[in-house]
Structure 1
Amino acid sequence: MHVILMVAITVDGKIARSADHYPDWTGKADKRFYVEVTKKAGVMIMGSTTFDIIGRVLPGRKTVVMTRNPARCSDSADLVFTADPPEAILADLSDQGYTQAVVVGGAKINQLFAQKGLLDELILTVSPYAFGSGLSIFSDSVDLKLTLKRFWTLDDNTLCLRYGVVH
């Protein structure tokens, strides 16, 4: 299973001002690219706060929501709430025929996948904002060695960086 961590960041490396900050600061080009990458993979993995901020299942891909709340459940095959650890989630997705998954936040979920060495790629879209303070990509320290695979502009103000994770 190829696992991609995809995050939009400000130029000062923040993914949000606070845990409940709606990502309305990213541009249209970033949103289009997000749809392209997540639809190609077919599945997105996120935390419950990120899911609640988005507020719905995005069409054309499966959404796996990591939560410790056993009351959260779904009758839809496109929406799964789980308390399983990252390895179990990826094994289950692989059993379902998925070959890629995109981790889309938040910082705690990003941390879990990074800490366990489960990330293969990191895609950053850098938006022309600076928050000064806020949430970082990871909720705690990580030790990821990366190699730059590609960089390009999504529009006049947004840079995209694609890194491979060196295992």
Structure 2
Amino acid sequence: MTTRFTLTVATSADGFISRSTDEPPQAWASPEEQDLFFRDVEAADWAVMGRNTHLAADRPDRRRIIFSTKTGGWQRPTQLWLDPETLTPAELPTLVSDVHALENGLILGGTRVHDWFLAHDAIHKVHLTIEPVAFGEGLPIFSGQQDRDPVTTFTRRGFHILSEDTLNGIGTRYLELVPDAP
């Protein structure tokens, strides 16, 4: 079976995933976004994230693949630390198969993890939540991002909108996007 990866990302209205590397989304995201986030976490076989994202919300009970150039190997029975430099997304299922199958992967960030999956054309679906807050500066969704509109950030990279909903009275938006057909 082919592994499918879903990028779940909450952004500010001006296209940032955080103000700093140690600020978790729950510090500024709406309860509705958090409900959708945890739905995605529960549905995933494994979550893939960078070291800073992992450390901002360390959960020893979760299956995680953590990208890091500083630490490697199994740090906990369900947490594999890897340097992604020489890997491809297709190799990840084999690396974790002795612990739990990887069919539905969840990409949680940060920017360099998003970049890695985008570079390998391995983002099969995007769950994008846009909160009605502006940071002015911070960590972008992707490196080199010029757009301040999160939707444009994805459509310029070959994704199109499947659905869009408003989650609450303050205007939090939730979109599902998929890559354009080749």
TM-score by length of 1: 0.86
Counterpart pick for 2:37 among 34, 37, 53: 34
| Mapped pair 1:105 → 2:76 | no
Task: Answer yes or no: is 1:150 the counterpart of 2:163.
Answer: yes
Q: Counterpart in 2 of 1:159?
A: 173
Q: Tell me, which stretches of 5 or more residues in structure 1 are unaligned?
A: none
**1:75 offset after TM fit, Å?**
3.1
Paired AA for residue 80 in structure 1: L
Q: 1:49 to 1:145 in 2, by over 3 A?
A: same
Q: Is the 8 A contact 2:7 2:125 kept in 1?
A: yes
Deviations 1:105-138, CA, capped at 9 Å, x for gaps:
0001100110111111111101121011111101
1:111/1:140 contact within 8 Å kept: no
Contiguous gaps of at least 5 residues in structure 2: 146-152
Q: Which moved more, 1:114-123 or 1:88-97?
A: 88-97
Which shifted more, 16-25 or 1-10?
Answer: 16-25
Q: How many residues align?
A: 164
* Counterpart among 10, 13, 26 of residue 11 in structure 1: 13
Q: Who is 1:82 aligned against?
A: 82
Q: In angstroms, what is the RMSD of aligned CA positions? A: 2.2
For 2:55 and 2:111, the matched residues in 1 are separated by 15
TM superposition shift of 1:165:
1.1
Distance 1:153 1:94, change over 3 A: farther
Q: Deviations over 1:38-72 (max 9, x none)?
A: 21122110000110111333x4x411111111367
Q: Contact 2:167/2:173 (CA < 8 Å) preserved in 1?
A: yes
Moved more, 67-76 or 127-136: 67-76
Aligned to 2:22: 20
**Distance of 1:94 and 1:55 partners within structure 2:** 22
Per the alignment, in what secondary structure is the counterpart of residue 33 of structure 2?
Answer: helix
Sequence identity, in percent?
23
Change (3 A) 1:75 1:16: closer
